[in-house]
Amino acid sequence: MRAGRLVPAFLKPPLRRLRDFFVGLTYRGTGRLCPVCETSSRKFAPFGEVPRRDALCVTCGALERHRLTWLFFRRKTDLFGRRAARMLHVAPEPTIEAALRSHLGEAYVTADLHDPKAMLRMDITDIRLPDESFDVIYCSHVLEHVPDDRKAMRELRRILKGDGWAVFQVPVTEDATIEDPSVTDPKERARLFGQEDHVRRYGPDCADRLVDAGFRVTVTNPADFLSSEEIERMGITQAAGEIYYCTRA
């Protein structure tokens, strides 16, 4: 039995506050800045099955890719200046979900196949929505879980408005994408693809798949729009990956 189950419910909130207080003391400083919550800290916390240094913002929970995407949205898109832009966030991560919702309000829509907290239950290989339903689509670290990723890409293009744009992120860990649909054993998937629920490892040719699905694709790396000082201070390490900015071809 987990120790947390032994703690009475009325004690959990004050214990969390006490934990957060001591965590705050541990990381108090100015060496790092999280652009999502705009909070400074001495450093970011380790995170991951194999812990990555300088990964997790202890204030809001943003990881490297969240910080990169937030900066991209701010500096390279019209997301926060576009009038009533309707945005679909696929499989939303709580950290960046909260930040996006606070800026976009009712124009922000979340979708997930399994998470009951999402606003829409959605299989992205079979989206039950009309063509051109959204101005913006954000889909991060999802496609590596989807057996038919090409169909998912086509479906997401279909529901994107003609003048809209989409941001995709995937973990790129190979020189070329590798996949094997016959592998269904979770342990073998973990060995081959990095996680039990991954069905492939992507290479840079992920961009070619998006093009085949009908997108124009611009691949953006952190150094394309951030200074070296910003990359270091905001913890945009190699784990942040790159951004696939897509419009309809």
82 and 149 inside one domain: yes
Three-state SS for 29? coil
128 and 8 inside one domain: no
Out of 37, 62, 87, a domain closes at: 62
Q: How confident is the model at residue 2 (pLDDT cuts 50, 70, 90)?
A: very low
233 and 215 inside one domain: yes
Please name the helix (run of DSSP H) or strand (run of DSSP E) that holds residue 161, with its range, or none. strand 160-169
Answer positive or negative: Cα dihedral of 203, 208, 212, 218.
positive
167 and 87 inside one domain: yes
208 and 156 inside one domain: yes
11 and 125 inside one domain: no
196 and 101 inside one domain: yes
Q: Which amino acid is at 119?
A: M
Cβ(65)–Cβ(96) below 8 Å:
no
Out of 62, 83, 105, a domain closes at: 62
Query: pTM value?
Result: 0.89
Q: Is 246 left (phi over 0), alpha (psi -120 to 50) or beta?
A: beta
Q: Quick one: average pLDDT of 103-122?
A: 96
Tens digits of per-residue pLDDT, 56-83? 998 999 999 999 999 999 999 999 887 7
Maximum distance among all alpha carbons in the chain?
Answer: 56
Count of domains for the chain = 2
Tens digits of per-residue pLDDT, 12-60? 666 555 555 555 667 788 899 999 999 999 999 999 888 999 999 989 9
18 and 106 inside one domain: no
Residue 118 structural domain: 63-248
Please name the helix (run of DSSP H) or strand (run of DSSP E) that holds residue 208, with its range, or none. helix 206-212
94 and 39 inside one domain: no
